[in-house]
Amino acid sequence: MDTRNIMDESQVAELKKDFMYNRKYTLAKDHYTATNYDNFQSLALSIRNRLIARWILTQQRYHDENCKRVYYLSMEFLIGRLLANNIMNMGLEKESEKAVSELGFNLEEIYEQERDAGLGNGGLGRLAACFLDSMATLGIPATGYGIRYDYGIFRQEIINGFQVERPEEWLVLGNPWEFGRPEYILKIKFYGKTIQRTDKNGKLKVDWVSNDNILAMAYDIPVAGYKNGVVNNLRLWSARSTEEFDLEYFNDGDYIKACEKKIMSENISRVLYPSDSIFKGMELRLKQEYFFTSASIQDIIRRFKMHNADLRAFPEKIAIQLNDTHPAIAIVELMRILLDEEDLEWDTAWFITVNTFAYTNHTIMPEALESWPVSLIGALLPRHLEIIYEINKRFLNEISIKYPKDHDKIKSMSLIEEGEIKKVRMSNLCIIGSHSVNGVSALHSELLKTTLFKNFYEFYPEKFNNKTNGITQRLWLKNANHGLSGLITELIGDSWITELSELKKIIPNSDNELFKSRWRDIKRQNKITLSEFIWKHKGIPIDPDSMFDVQIKRIHEYKRQLLFILFLIAQYLKIKNGVLKNAVPRTAIIGGKSAPGYYMAKLIIKFINNVAAVINNDPETSSKLRIIFLENYRVSLAEKIFPASDLSEQISTAGREASGTGNMKFMLNGALTIGTLDGANIEIMEEVGQENIFIFGLKTEEVLNLKKNGYNPKDYIAKTPILSEIIDLINDNFFSRFETDIFKPIVNNLVNHDEYMIFADFESYIKTQDIVSETYLDKNKWTKMSIMNTALAGKFSSDRTIREYAKDIWKV
Ligand SMILES: *Cc1c(COP(=O)(O)O)cnc(C)c1O
């Protein structure tokens, strides 16, 4: 089948013309003054202009049809770069390449100029970005709402092995994808007090008199579907001070003070909080949550009212998905508007609210759960706190009827956590205020029902459901891996681009020698490309024929980068001691950011770098083992790594990783997984079969039992000689020659009170890694397994995930 696009020569000419026009008239640059970034912008603007007509048409159509809309509220959208993606979705790949080369440039080099939009921490934010892509491609009338952070996730530098955070000024050179709407701004209220009054009908009313208002200005980014003419909207809010702000100061003649306060108020959208899966109760963060949520709800209501007279139709026209509890206050904000501004009765308002909202939980780890001090909410959002108490009062009444004597149960389900500092539990608010609660993998959704939200599941079984995460194959295979996607398309056509399960059509070729050798060659070529990148950036030569063994994800104790590094040390010792005669050469590649305040994670980064330095400088082992820490892991770097990976490290303590999506990107690109039975790894195993994945370690239940019966790390040291050897080495400062004892806290943790039970899984992990090595020696077997992994990745398309959300939750 010939699936090549026919080159549209007139488009090539038009693109060239637009490029030159934009460079000259939008950027005021010429051949002599244009920087590389200007050239990127010139092309981006030309592509953007081609999106606009479809964007306007799409939005007009949604408007005319008055169809049900989906709003995806998320504090994070980790979208990365957009140029290549938009060119692909517009079907202009060949035309752009030709136009650019005729102008004397190289398209890949232009792509490299774009700064990542790093508006997220990790998996949760990237999920939102994949969902936007799938919703547009499936033609779902969806809008993403979030924050336009001036500073997204920090840029990570490694200095002397330590992580150093630098501000990422992604906007300073200009962002060609966004449209600011200075004429469209909304008022967001903060602080102040509530005043009760009786209206003319004798009804009790509450007014919230705020004393600190801030404006939310909209910035829109078009989100194109794949070759379907649909362009949805991602609307990000930016904080602006109000004109009348602190009139007192102006009146008092303290002009500078007045301006200072004005400027301070714009800090709300300044910076993304860089902690992933850890809750920090900072006031500014709560302000961010309310800021973007209130702006979004106001915007949604305004749009609804353009077509609909009766607010009771709200749930038939609108579905709002909450990406974790970060936008949870939206539930209270909608209630407030319906009660105080729209004059609805409580029961009506509550019915509308519950039937509009749906909540996605992303973790069961207690340190990640949001609970805000009552005092903080009360000061910042006094009216919201009253409504929260009223919701709680009614809810507790309801459950007390069912569980009249069960005070423990009632206490655990309350919105309010009692204690020295009273707190509002945002997850409980989300469950009570939504009609749907979902986890993000089969295991995680089960754990929600049996552990964290057990009592809620008993009370509201119908609310609970699972939506296993997914990734968009358009970015993670088609765009990131031209070699592999080209081969696949040549063989089975290009229907997999919008229907990933079609990939299974390559299975009959998994025994075809020619196909296998082409498959191998593509992987090898991708590895050479990554080797060149590593050589250029780190000056370390790596062997493209070695096994690329990769762990890339946020640095977190539960993800157990330490387990990986302990294995690498063990491997090093075995090679050095001649225990492994024909060791399979490995290149371990590790990347990821730590939260800046997460002491242990930062020490783990330092440890990885020190171990890498020792091992990489040992000539005895250098042909067999290298460790590369790639700094500043982000979407655009991820696009380079996944296609070049042989082995995917998914080794979290069972029960801790809600789903994982990195695991899916590896699989799609033909990497084999070594992993625990955690998150979506379980479903990956179900798809590929036990023979095509390397599973090790304790299962969730065994982890829980071990914890209950008392996990003693020393038991494992006693029976695993290599473990004590490694611990002795670390204690003897073998990896910290001139930094005596810096890794003591790591050892201390591992040996005395390791919550993540690294030693309990160590032996099983090492043994499984030996099986991995053995398998890798059998090129044919490995290649077939690799093909099977890609072929059976269909389930993990975010298109599948979004279809399920649309059918089961949103009803669109
Ligand atoms: C996919 C992705 C993640 C999530 O990785 P996990 O292994 O699922 O934790 C984090 N960061 C980036 C840049 C990603 O692309």
175-206 pLDDT tens trace? 999 999 998 899 999 999 999 999 998 999 99
Overall pTM surpassing 0.85 (yes/no): yes
Give the mean pLDDT of 300-315: 96
d(C-alpha 490, C-alpha 478), whole Å: 13
User: Which among 85, 126, 127, 665 is the best mutation to test ligand 1's pocket, defined by most ligand atoms within 8 Å of the CB?
Assistant: 126
What confidence tier does 249 reach under pLDDT thresholds 50, 70, 90?
low
Among protein residues, the one whose CA lies closest to atom 7 of ligand 1:
662
| Nearest atom of ligand 1 to the alpha carbon of 661 | 8
d(C-alpha 139, C-alpha 144), whole Å: 14
The encoded tokens of residue 675 equal 């992993």
Question: In this structure, are residues 798 and 130 in contact, taking their beta carbons and an 8 Å threshold?
Answer: yes
pLDDT above 60: residue 62: yes
% residues pLDDT > 90 (the chain):
94
- CA–centroid distance, 290 to ligand 1, in Å, is 26
| Nearest atom of ligand 1 to the alpha carbon of 660 | 8
> CB-side exposure of 88: number of CA atoms within 13 Å?
22
Amino acid at 283: E
Burial pattern 144-165, b for ≥16 Cβ within 10 A else e, equals: bbbbbbbbbbbbbebeebebeb
d(C-alpha 373, C-alpha 422), whole Å: 6
pLDDT above 50: residue 2: no
- CA–centroid distance, 805 to ligand 1, in Å, is 21
- Enumerate residues 6+ apart whose C-beta is below 8 A from 136: 89, 142, 223, 224, 225, 226, 228, 230, 231, 232
Among protein residues, the one whose CA lies closest to atom 9 of ligand 1:
553
pLDDT above 80: residue 560: yes
Burial pattern 531-558, b for ≥16 Cβ within 10 A else e, equals: beebeeebeeebbbebbbbbbbbbbbbb
User: Which among 85, 119, 661 is the best mutation to test ligand 1's pocket, defined by most ligand atoms within 8 Å of the CB?
Assistant: 661
**Locus of tokens 């089969």:** 442
Which pLDDT score is estimated for 777? 97
Amino acid at 550: V
Q: Do domains 66-81+116-469+803-810 and 473-796 have the same CATH topology?
A: yes
Label the pairing between strands 162-166 and 155-159.
Answer: antiparallel
| Beta strand spans in 242-355 (E) | 318-323
User: Which among 78, 121, 648 is the best mutation to test ligand 1's pocket, defined by most ligand atoms within 8 Å of the CB?
Assistant: 78
Which pLDDT score is estimated for 1? 39
Q: Give tens-digit pLDDT for 460-471.
A: 999 999 999 999
Average pLDDT, the chain: 96
Among protein residues, the one whose CA lies closest to atom 1 of ligand 1:
662
Which pLDDT score is estimated for 183? 87
Which pLDDT score is estimated for 258? 75
> CB-side exposure of 359: number of CA atoms within 13 Å?
28
- CA–centroid distance, 553 to ligand 1, in Å, is 5
pLDDT above 50: residue 440: yes
Q: Give tens-digit pLDDT for 626-678.
A: 999 999 999 999 999 999 999 999 999 999 999 999 999 999 999 999 999 99
| Nearest atom of ligand 1 to the alpha carbon of 633 | 13
- Enumerate residues 6+ apart whose C-beta is below 8 A from 781: 775
- CA–centroid distance, 150 to ligand 1, in Å, is 22
pLDDT above 50: residue 407: yes
Q: Give tens-digit pLDDT for 213-237.
A: 999 999 999 999 999 999 999 999 9
d(C-alpha 692, C-alpha 746), whole Å: 34
Delimit the domains of the chain by residue range. 66-81+116-469+803-810, 473-796
Q: Give tens-digit pLDDT for 135-166.
A: 999 999 999 999 999 999 999 999 999 999 99
Q: Give tens-digit pLDDT for 685-732.
A: 999 999 999 999 999 999 999 999 999 999 999 999 999 999 999 999
- CA–centroid distance, 554 to ligand 1, in Å, is 7
Give the mean pLDDT of 749-773: 98
Among protein residues, the one whose CA lies closest to atom 5 of ligand 1:
662
Architecture of the structural domain at 473-796: 3-Layer(aba) Sandwich (3.40)
Which pLDDT score is estimated for 265? 87
Which pLDDT score is estimated for 52? 96
Question: In this structure, are residues 350 and 405 in contact, taking their beta carbons and an 8 Å threshold?
Answer: no
Q: Give me the active site residues, please.
A: 362, 553-554, 559, 661, 665
pLDDT above 70: residue 250: no
Q: Give tens-digit pLDDT for 580-599.
A: 888 899 999 999 999 999 99
Considering only residues 341 and 276, tell me which one the structure prediction assigns the higher pLDDT.
Answer: 341
According to the CATH classification, is domain 66-81+116-469+803-810 in 3.40.980.10? no
pLDDT above 60: residue 173: yes
- CA–centroid distance, 78 to ligand 1, in Å, is 10
Give the mean pLDDT of 2-28: 88
- CA–centroid distance, 337 to ligand 1, in Å, is 37
Give the mean pLDDT of 732-747: 98
Among protein residues, the one whose CA lies closest to atom 11 of ligand 1:
122
The encoded tokens of residue 31 equal 């051949």
First to last CA, the chain: 34
Among protein residues, the one whose CA lies closest to atom 10 of ligand 1:
122
- Enumerate residues 6+ apart whose C-beta is below 8 A from 330: 73, 293, 294, 296, 297, 320, 322, 357
pLDDT above 70: residue 244: no
User: Which among 552, 630, 634 is the best mutation to test ligand 1's pocket, defined by most ligand atoms within 8 Å of the CB?
Assistant: 552
Query: What sign results for the dihedral spanned by CA atoms 196, 197, 203, 206?
Result: negative
pLDDT above 50: residue 447: yes
Among protein residues, the one whose CA lies closest to atom 6 of ligand 1:
662
d(C-alpha 148, C-alpha 332), whole Å: 23
Residues touching ligand 1 (Cβ under 6 Å) are: 122-123, 126, 553-554, 634-635, 638, 660-662, 665
- CA–centroid distance, 160 to ligand 1, in Å, is 25
Which pLDDT score is estimated for 733? 98
What confidence tier does 256 reach under pLDDT thresholds 50, 70, 90?
confident
What confidence tier does 3 reach under pLDDT thresholds 50, 70, 90?
very low
| Nearest atom of ligand 1 to the alpha carbon of 559 | 9
SS3 365: coil
Among protein residues, the one whose CA lies closest to atom 15 of ligand 1:
635
Q: Give tens-digit pLDDT for 485-522.
A: 999 999 999 999 999 999 999 999 999 999 999 999 99
Which pLDDT score is estimated for 262? 78
Which burial class, exposed, middle or buried, applies to 276 when counting CB atoms under 10 A from its CB (0-12, 13-18, 19+)?
Answer: buried
Q: Give tens-digit pLDDT for 419-434.
A: 999 999 999 999 999 9
